[in-house]
Amino acid sequence: MPTALVTGASSGIGAAFARRLSGDGYDVIVVARRRERLDQLHEQGAASELIVADLAEPEQCARVEERLAAGVDLLVNNAGVGVGKAFEQSTVSEEDRMLALNVRAVMRLTHAAAAPMLAAGSGQIVNVASVAAFTGAVGFASYSASKAYVVTLSESLAVRYACRGVTVMALCPGYVRTEMHDAASTPTSGLVARLMWLDPEQLVEVALRDLRRGKEIITPGVVYKTTVATTKLVPRKVLAVAGRFANRDGQ
């Protein structure tokens, strides 16, 4: 039976990955800070092994690294966090914790999983980034930067490991109906909502399909594909002007 390890599995995208992979015949190891949420997945039959860990804490992250070093077939680096404030309004500790989880933990767990995968000549890694990785010029500051790191790391490793049997993919969603996203400022019904919001199960379906196809970077949803394509075509100076306009109220 193949083995998958999913971080940030207590809700949203991570929980959807755990349920889908378990249904696909994987022995699923779930990682999160909230034990009660992991217990629920276990009771549902969506997880066989539980690891309670705060990946922003080096010692706790190390415990997950040890499990990965023993070998898994699929790693889903889903755990992540946003500050939810403008850069100048957040504290250094809030920014540092975000980078510890979004950047350092992703690097450490990817590194731990890659070695046994390369030795075996097979394995898959999905690093969950964000469409924000491509729109840093118009806001989100450190969060966008952290997700840009995940995209660049994943793309580089995908190219390096392609001929060695290991697939690496960056998953870059936009709005997903999860606890992380506050829906207050974005429509949640009607045509706009159908275009802007994805359900976690839909996202996982697309991600696993494209992982099988060997894609390196994916951005599910027509709206977000268009957004990324536009940012690649529009000069950075133009995006910066748009960003200044969007933030003209000083928030």
In the chain, the domains with their CATH numbers are 3-246 (3.40.50.720)
Residue with more model confidence, 89 or 64? 64
Question: Position 23: which residue type?
Answer: G
Res 28: pLDDT: 98
Residue 247 has pLDDT above 70, yes or no: no
Token readout for 155 is 């793309």
Whole-model pTM: value is 0.87
Residue 138 has pLDDT above 70, yes or no: no
- In the sheet that holds 27-32, the strands lie side by side as 49-52, 27-32, 3-7, 74-77, 123-128, 166-171, 217-218
Q: What are the catalytic residues?
A: 143
Token readout for 68 is 């990965």
Question: Position 40: which residue type?
Answer: Q
Mean pLDDT of 189-194: 49
State the Cα–Cα distance between residues 197 and 221, nearest whole angstrom.
9
What pairing do the DSSP bridges indicate for beta strands 27-32 and 175-176? unpaired
Which range has highest mean pLDDT (173-177, 200-204, 229-233)? 200-204
Pair 137, 236: CB distance under 8 Å: yes
Q: Tell me the average pLDDT of the chain.
A: 86
Res 178: pLDDT: 67
